[in-house]
Amino acid sequence: MLITVAICTRDRMVSLARCLEALSGQTVPAEQFEILVVDNAPGFDASRQRAAGFADIANLRWVHAAEPGVARARNVAIAQARAPLLAFIDDDVLASPGWLAALLDGFGRFGEAVHSLGGPVRPRWSAPRPHWLADPLLPYLALIDRGDRLRLLAPQEWVAGANSAYRTQAVRAVGGFNPWLGRLGDILLSNEETELAGRLRAAGRSIGWVPGAAVEHCIVVERLTQPWFRRRIAWQAVSDFLQKPEHAHGQRGVNWAEAEGFFERTRGSNALHALAAAQSDPGRFLPEIAAIYHLVLSLLNGLESGGPG
């Protein structure tokens, strides 16, 4: 067995079935990889019943992890993986037929210095892409593409957890994912992947980009709304604060200035209303989203350095 493919899921059986169907079409023979489903929904008996629905997949193992949180579920996968390599894919993601083969080839070509890889995450829209959804917002849907060249990533570059892979022993050695980051039900915390990447890099390990390891992320219509993006950006600010509180505190003046600048440019009572009103112009929605981000960070820092008091 060369690689474990881990899918952390919670109450999305239709999406999971599509994900597993795509994995059945991999060019890598089934005996060379295992599929590890980590069911993060409550209730052991119900989980066992769900597992029975996929009993015909010979290389699938099903594990129930009752403690909520995607980072905790991923840590269960790290502990349970039987292969020397471990790939993560989300339950609403469809792998291209050559996905696993490209990851295996990438690890082989990069060598032992590289302990993590990622590849493109492209959209499969469930509804037409809204006009206001500008390209800078796509990473908040875990959509990334860092080019068509096999290469090492720069320190500021990251890979999406929806399409990432690790050397199993290396990720165990650094302690896995931070359980205080990452999605927790409807709480849109993030950054568990970037925080782990930081620890891998601190240990002297590099992260590689494999353009051939492509997947499609099924973007549900509920995420194609401005209220969802406002929540998403607010939780991103919380995630950034939790991941690096000292850095966030050091940037408090910048955050205050950015938030204050938005309100100065949008004068009168319309300023606060603009952060919640429907916006058709992508050129105006982007600064509104940015203002929410900086305002949340300013509030988390106590409105210091430039704010009242």
Tens of each residue's pLDDT in the chain, 309 residues? 999 999 999 989 999 999 999 999 999 999 999 999 999 988 999 999 999 999 999 999 999 998 999 999 999 999 999 999 999 999 999 999 999 999 999 999 999 999 999 999 999 999 999 999 999 999 999 999 999 999 999 998 999 999 999 999 999 999 999 999 999 988 999 999 999 999 999 999 999 999 999 999 999 999 999 999 999 999 999 999 999 999 989 988 999 999 989 988 887 557 788 888 999 999 999 999 999 999 999 999 987 654 444
Q: Is the Cβ–Cβ distance between 261 and 168 less than 8 Å?
A: no
d(Cα 119, Cα 162) in Å, to the nearest integer?
9
Q: How far is CA 140 from CA 219, 224, 248, 267, in A?
A: 11, 11, 20, 29
DSSP structure class, residue 11: S
Which of 187, 167, 3, 11 has the alpha carbon at shortest distance from 95?
3
Number of compact structural domains in the chain: 2
Q: Is the Cβ–Cβ distance between 109 and 150 less than 8 Å?
A: yes
Tell me, yes or no, whether 203 and 91 share the same domain: yes
Tell me, yes or no, whether 214 and 240 share the same domain: no
Tell me, yes or no, whether 17 and 141 share the same domain: yes
Would residue 110 count as lying in a domain?
yes
Tell me, yes or no, whether 20 and 83 share the same domain: yes
Sign of the dihedral defined by the CA atoms of residues 190, 17, 27, 124, in that order:
negative
Q: Is the Cβ–Cβ distance between 125 and 118 less than 8 Å?
A: no
For residue 154, is it left (φ>0), alpha (ψ between -120 and 50) or beta? Answer: beta
Of 171, 189, 223, which residue is a domain's last? Answer: 223
Would residue 239 count as lying in a domain?
yes
Domain of residue 201, CATH code: 3.90.550.10
CB atoms within 10 A of CB 149: 7
Q: Which structural domain range is residue 50 located in?
A: 3-223
